[in-house]
């Protein structure tokens, strides 16, 4: 309801041409095209990743200002470990730097920070910063910011099914009790609403193993812009397009 929005949020929504009643509660973004952005400028691929951090910052800030409840960013897939070692090392260092440098801004914005994905392959230094941000923001009440790091949708489902199978084996869960809610609660995103809007940059028309269960009814929006060029104007364009769509969830209007 509009009464839940602060006056400055309503003013910003009006300035963006957005109806508060037709905002997505949860936006998920596949941040693609960092390497292509760099290549088109004759720069090393790592420069694309470095530039992409600016788009992360502006997107997080704008979603907070517009009253979005949840933002999930696909930072590193479980398949990305196939990339060159120097690029992966840079990505880990960049991630650690982001977690440290943005910590105060996250706190100032009252953001609840979380991470999904398998932890075991991540460097200890990165895990320490992840856990510190989670600890410091645990009681915050603002927008949820979730980073998908070493994440894969199929891996998530495998982990969930193993967990449920173990519960059945232990006698704490009967097979006939397994329904959509039980599966959802076994996923990394337990307690989080499903995405309403999935944004993908760089023009690719695929979901790349991202939130496979959760995006069943998400609206998809693709831009040709590479992630380092993704700005507030592009985000607002996606939100206006989303607002014009009719979501029926398999039913009739």
Report how far apart the first and last C-alpha atoms of the chain are (Å, whole number): 21
* Residue 19 is a catalytic residue: no
* Residue 32 is a catalytic residue: yes
Which neighbouring-strand residues pair with 72?
A: 28, 146
Active-site pick, 32, 34, 133, 196: 32
Q: Which two tokens stand for residue 88?
A: 């992966």
Helices (H), 102-219: 103-108, 124-137, 153-170, 180-186
Active-site pick, 42, 80, 86, 241: 80
CB neighbour class for 142 (10 Å; exposed up to 12, middle 13-18, buried from 19): middle
What is the secondary structure of 180-211 as a DSSP string? HHHHHHHSTTTTSPPPSEEEE-TT--S-TTSS
What are phi and psi for residue 105, nearest 5 degrees? Answer: -65, -40
Exposure letters 174-207 (e unless 16+ CB within 10 A, then b):
eeeebeeeeebebbbbeebebbbbbbbbbeeeeb
Exposure letters 27-53 (e unless 16+ CB within 10 A, then b):
bbbbbbbbbbbbeeeeeebbbbbbbbb
Q: Is 79 helix (H, G, I), strand (E, B) or coil?
A: coil
Q: Which two tokens stand for residue 176?
A: 């006939």
Q: Which helix (H) or strand (E) holds 21?
A: none
Nearest to 25 by CA among 70, 62, 75, 73: 70
- Catalytic residue IDs: 32, 80
């Amino acid at each position: 309801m509009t009464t839940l929005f602060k006056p400055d949020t309503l003013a910003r929504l009006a300035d963006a041409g957005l109806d508060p009643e037709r905002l997505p509660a949860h936006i998920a973004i596949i941040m693609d095209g960092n390497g292509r952005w760099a290549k088109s400028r004759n720069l090393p691929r790592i420069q694309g990743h470095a530039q992409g951090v600016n788009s992360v910052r502006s997107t997080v800030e704008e979603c907070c200002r517009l009253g979005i409840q949840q933002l999930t960013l696909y930072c590193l897939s479980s398949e990305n470990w196939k990339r060159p070692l120097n690029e992966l090392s840079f990505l880990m260092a960049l991630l650690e730097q982001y977690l440290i440098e943005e910590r105060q801004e996250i706190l100032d914005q009252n953001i609840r920070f979380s991470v999904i994905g398998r932890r075991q392959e991540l460097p200890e230094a990165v895990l320490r910063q992840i856990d510190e941000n989670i600890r410091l923001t645990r009681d915050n009440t603002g927008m949820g910011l979730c980073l998908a790091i070493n994440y894969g949708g199929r891996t998530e489902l495998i982990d969930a099914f193993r967990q449920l199978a173990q519960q059945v084996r232990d006698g704490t869960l009967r097979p006939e009790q397994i329904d959509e809610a039980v599966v959802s609660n076994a996923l990394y995103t337990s307690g989080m609403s499903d995405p309403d809007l999935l944004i993908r940059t760089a023009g690719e028309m695929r979901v790349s193993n991202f939130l496979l269960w959760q995006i069943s009814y998400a609206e998809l929006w693709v831009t040709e812009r590479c992630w380092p060029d993704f700005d507030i104007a592009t985000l607002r364009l996606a939100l206006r397009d989303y607002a014009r769509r009719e979501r029926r969830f398999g039913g009739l209007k």
